[in-house]
């Protein structure tokens, strides 16, 4: 039987998330002909789920859950495989008045013990009442659930096959009800569950659809982002349903193995909207450069969203240059800024405009926390940042110092946001909630500055390196390392760590494919010299094998995990630190 993808053009008028709850958004989408499509590792269409069928299946599954004596507000952990069953499970919770909490699938083979431990931590953190899992990893899930009291732990397919009682009434969610719990990226060691209300996510979706990417009835989306990540869940799954847009999904692992599949599906289906962290574009460009196969039609690609980590202009410019012959227009790049604690989006650059690159004086940035316009006659080091646009309508933004005082434009400080998309709290974590939310303002933990109310992100407060009172951004060190021909983009991580004498040491860990010891020593010497010359600090370079830098559950490189690994391997702990920390731009994250 031939599987046909859902159409791009719909049979109903488009609405932009003007609904009371997520179930209502799906109910409206179900009256049209669009839906979700799932693609395999060879780029073949493997499954299609129209929004009509999704609503029907989710309601049936909701009644089965309610028949098990689940109560409103019970937490249902869903192992978020890139599969139609995740959508069925997530929306079954919406119809049943339960709270879904997506968690990762196993990332690597041979990581069973680590996966079981991390999943168990998430289950305990969420006070989970049930787990819905794919059959393939159910043994690991059962191991993670050992001795935890659950109402149900099982295979989603098996549950879908059971009969349902259509007489069971479904729940009608109110705006203040919790829509879902989103675990923050990288939080599996110390899980923080972001509680998002129905009104918050729908507010954010409306702003994404109408003001951020300006979705039209002619748009079609595509995504390889994991369903447990806020950009994948809110940005591509929920925004597609809330705007009744057809969307094509490629599994995250299949993208990592064969990133060109993303372009192949986009070319075949004339997709116009997709999002990725910067490393996704860098990975694709590198594989294209290696293969020389450029048989794509990307002329329909309207929105190439970029977010989730610090954005550097050079890799994006390479990507645009490489794919120009395929019809890709660099104006499609859409920088944005957001985080799970604000549902997803905080700001967007302007649609259909070239990337705006802001150049500032690197020394003023490091020494005086000022983003002064770069002048080659006065400064020897230039720092470049991408303009991520203005904060969403109905939201406010401030840059604050460590005393909580609002700073003027071009001053570096911690970004605070207020508005209807902000989370209500962290689940069962009063202390962290009080540290992060104050008088309606969300302390993002990100450092940045404003120019004409446009947001520029310089990094995370927790990653900032402070040496002798100077602020040093790790991405600057990483960029210098990656300029060496043997080091690829994404092969370096920089952080600070204490040494045995109590001093702070700058460490750069680099993945290196070179095996010759003389050549390896030369690479280290070149990177040390470049950092000393450009940044003015000494550093320790550590070479590691390819594919060994730690990543978060969403695939982003993790400086904090690299720092932890380095300290454990060298038997160093925080007690060795004697130099007080400069807090000129620091706050709790």
Confidence of residue 503 (pLDDT cuts 50, 70, 90): low
C-beta atoms surrounding 303 within 10 Å: 21
pLDDT tens sequence across 124-138: 999 999 999 999 999
DSSP class of 370? B
Residue 115: per-residue pLDDT: 84
How far is Cα 134 from Cα 156, in angstroms, rounded to an integer?
A: 6
How far is Cα 386 from Cα 357, in angstroms, rounded to an integer?
A: 5
How far is Cα 588 from Cα 414, in angstroms, rounded to an integer?
A: 9
Mean pLDDT within 418-439: 92
DSSP 109-138: TT-HHHHHHHHHHHHHHHT-SEEEE-GGGH
Mean pLDDT within 344-354: 94
Question: Minimum mean pLDDT among 305-314, 431-440, 523-532: which range?
Answer: 305-314
> Who wins on pLDDT, 510 or 303?
303
Mean pLDDT within 264-291: 88
Question: Minimum mean pLDDT among 93-107, 271-285, 485-499, 566-580: which range?
Answer: 566-580
Question: What is the value of pTM for the model shown?
Answer: 0.83
Number of helical H runs and strand E runs in the chain:
18, 28
Mean pLDDT within 59-76: 94
Is the confidence at residue 329, as pLDDT, over 90? yes
Q: Where are the alpha helices (DSSP H) in 216-359?
A: 230, 239-242, 252-257, 260-269, 278-291, 313-323
Percentage of the chain lying above the pLDDT 70 cut: 91
Is the confidence at residue 107, as pLDDT, over 70? no
Is the confidence at residue 469, as pLDDT, over 70? no
Question: Minimum mean pLDDT among 98-102, 502-506, 556-560: which range?
Answer: 502-506
Residue 366: per-residue pLDDT: 76
How far CA 37 is from CA of 16, 41, 221, 251, 260, in Å, comes to: 21, 14, 10, 11, 18
> Who wins on pLDDT, 173 or 113?
173
Is the confidence at residue 112, as pLDDT, over 90? no
C-beta atoms surrounding 547 within 10 Å: 9
Is the confidence at residue 191, as pLDDT, over 80? no
Is the confidence at residue 201, as pLDDT, over 50? yes
Q: Where are the alpha helices (DSSP H) in 12-151?
A: 22-29, 51-67, 84-96, 112-126, 138-144
Is the confidence at residue 188, as pLDDT, over 60? no
**Exposed/middle/buried for 518, CB within 10 Å: 0-12, 13-18, 19+?**
exposed
Is the confidence at residue 205, as pLDDT, over 90? yes
Confidence of residue 164 (pLDDT cuts 50, 70, 90): confident
Is the confidence at residue 371, as pLDDT, over 80? yes
Q: Which of 95-99, 115-119, 225-229, 458-462 has the highest mean pLDDT?
A: 95-99
pLDDT tens sequence across 514-559: 888 888 888 888 988 888 877 778 888 888 888 888 876 556 677 7
Is the confidence at residue 292, as pLDDT, over 70? no
Contact assessment for residue 139 and residue 64, using Cβ atoms and an 8 Å cutoff: no
Is the confidence at residue 145, as pLDDT, over 60? yes
Residue 442: per-residue pLDDT: 95
Is the confidence at residue 266, as pLDDT, over 90? yes
Q: Can you tell me whether residue 383 is helix, strand or coil? A: strand
Is the confidence at residue 396, as pLDDT, over 80? yes
Query: What are the start-end ranges of the E strands in 479-538?
Result: 492-498, 504-511
Confidence of residue 384 (pLDDT cuts 50, 70, 90): confident
> Who wins on pLDDT, 468 or 66?
66
- Tell me the pairing of strands 247-250 and 441-451: unpaired
Is the confidence at residue 582, as pLDDT, over 50? no
Confidence of residue 500 (pLDDT cuts 50, 70, 90): low
Contact assessment for residue 388 and residue 431, using Cβ atoms and an 8 Å cutoff: no
How far is Cα 201 from Cα 222, in angstroms, rounded to an integer?
A: 21
How far is Cα 1 from Cα 578, in angstroms, rounded to an integer?
A: 69
C-beta atoms surrounding 452 within 10 Å: 7
Confidence of residue 395 (pLDDT cuts 50, 70, 90): very high
Cα 115–chain centre separation:
20
Is the confidence at residue 373, as pLDDT, over 60? yes
Contact assessment for residue 61 and residue 152, using Cβ atoms and an 8 Å cutoff: no
Residue 403: per-residue pLDDT: 86
Is the confidence at residue 297, as pLDDT, over 50? yes
pLDDT tens sequence across 240-263: 999 999 999 999 989 988 999 999
Confidence of residue 581 (pLDDT cuts 50, 70, 90): very low
How far is Cα 294 from Cα 285, in angstroms, rounded to an integer?
A: 11
Percentage of the chain lying above the pLDDT 90 cut: 55
DSSP 290-305: HH-------TT--EEE
Q: Which of 318-327, 536-545, 567-576 has the highest mean pLDDT?
A: 318-327
Question: What domains lie within the chain, and their CATH numbers?
Answer: 466-576 (3.30.300.30)
Is the confidence at residue 319, as pLDDT, over 70? yes
How far CA 270 is from CA of 11, 208, 215, 296, 522, in Å, comes to: 19, 21, 15, 10, 47
How far is Cα 144 from Cα 115, in angstroms, rounded to an integer?
A: 8
Mean pLDDT of the chain: 87
Contact assessment for residue 96 and residue 204, using Cβ atoms and an 8 Å cutoff: no
Is the confidence at residue 387, as pLDDT, over 80? yes
DSSP 347-378: EE--TT-PPPEEEEEHHHHHHH-B-PBP-TTT
Q: Can you tell me whether residue 405 is helix, strand or coil? A: coil
Query: What are the start-end ranges of the E strands in 387-440?
Result: 390-391, 396-400, 413-418, 425-426, 437-438
Is the confidence at residue 269, as pLDDT, over 90? yes
Question: Minimum mean pLDDT among 52-61, 96-105, 517-526: which range?
Answer: 517-526
């Amino acid at each position: 039987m031939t599987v046909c993808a859902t159409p791009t053009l719909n049979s109903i008028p488009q609405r932009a998330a003007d609904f009371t709850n997520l179930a209502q958004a799906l109910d409206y989408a179900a009256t049209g002909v669009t839906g979700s499509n799932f693609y395999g590792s060879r780029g073949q269409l493997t499954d299609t789920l129209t929004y009509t069928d999704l609503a029907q299946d989710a309601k049936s599954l909701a009644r089965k859950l309610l028949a098990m004596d689940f109560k409103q507000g019970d937490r249902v952990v869903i192992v978020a495989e890139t599969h139609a069953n995740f959508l069925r499970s997530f929306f079954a919770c919406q119809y049943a008045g339960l709270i879904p909490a997506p968690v990762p699938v196993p990332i690597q083979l041979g990581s069973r013990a680590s996966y079981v431990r991390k999943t168990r931590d998430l289950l305990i953190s969420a006070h989970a009442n049930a787990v819905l899992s794919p059959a393939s990893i159910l043994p690991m899930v059962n191991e993670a659930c050992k001795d935890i009291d659950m109402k149900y732990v099982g295979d989603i397919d098996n549950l879908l096959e059971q009969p349902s009682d259509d007489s069971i009434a479904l729940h009608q969610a109110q705006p203040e009800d919790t829509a879902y719990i989103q675990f923050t990226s990288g939080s599996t060691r110390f899980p923080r569950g972001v509680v998002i209300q129905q009104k918050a996510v729908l507010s954010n979706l409306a702003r994404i659809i109408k003001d951020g990417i300006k979705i039209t009835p002619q748009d079609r989306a595509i995504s390889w982002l994991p369903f447990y990540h806020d950009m994948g869940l809110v940005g591509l799954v929920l925004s597609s349903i809330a705007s009744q847009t057809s969307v094509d999904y490629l599994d995250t692992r299949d993208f990592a193995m064969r990133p060109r599949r993303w372009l192949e599906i986009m070319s075949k289906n004339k997709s116009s909207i997709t999002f990725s962290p910067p490393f996704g574009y860098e990975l694709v460009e590198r594989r294209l450069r290696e293969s020389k196969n450029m048989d794509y039609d990307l002329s329909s690609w309207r929105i190439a969203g970029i977010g989730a980590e610090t954005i550097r202009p050079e890799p994006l410019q390479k990507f645009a240059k490489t794919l120009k012959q395929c019809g890709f227009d660099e104006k499609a790049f859409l920088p944005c800024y957001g985080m799970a604690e604000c549902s997803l989006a905080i700001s967007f650059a302007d649609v259909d405009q070239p990337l705006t690159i802001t150049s500032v004086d690197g020394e003023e940035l490091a020494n005086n926390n000022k983003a002064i316009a770069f002048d080659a006659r006065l400064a020897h080091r230039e720092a470049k940042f991408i303009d991520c646009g203005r904060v969403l309508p109905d939201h406010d933004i401030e840059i604050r110092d460590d005393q909580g005082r609002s700073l003027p434009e071009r001053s570096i400080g911690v970004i605070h946001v207020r508005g209807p998309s902000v989370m209500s709290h962290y689940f069962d974590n009063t202390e962290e909630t009080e540290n992060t939310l104050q008088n309606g303002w969300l302390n993002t933990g990100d450092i940045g500055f404003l120019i004409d109310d446009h947001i520029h992100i310089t990094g995370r407060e927790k990653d900032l390196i402070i040496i002798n009172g100077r602020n040093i951004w790790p991405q600057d060190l990483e960029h210098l390392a990656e300029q060496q021909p043997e080091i690829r983009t994404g092969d370096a991580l920089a952080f600070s760590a204490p040494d045995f004498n109590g001093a702070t040491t700058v460490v750069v860990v680099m993945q290196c494919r070179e095996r010759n010891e003389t050549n390896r020593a030369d690479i280290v010497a070149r990177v040390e010299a470049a950092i000393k010359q450009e940044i003015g600090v000494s550093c320790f370079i550590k070479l590691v094998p390819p594919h060994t830098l730690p990543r978060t559950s969403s695939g982003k490189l993790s400086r904090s995990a690299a720092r932890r690994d380095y300290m454990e391997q060298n038997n160093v702990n925080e007690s060795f630190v004697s130099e007080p920390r400069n807090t000129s731009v620091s706050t709790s994250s």
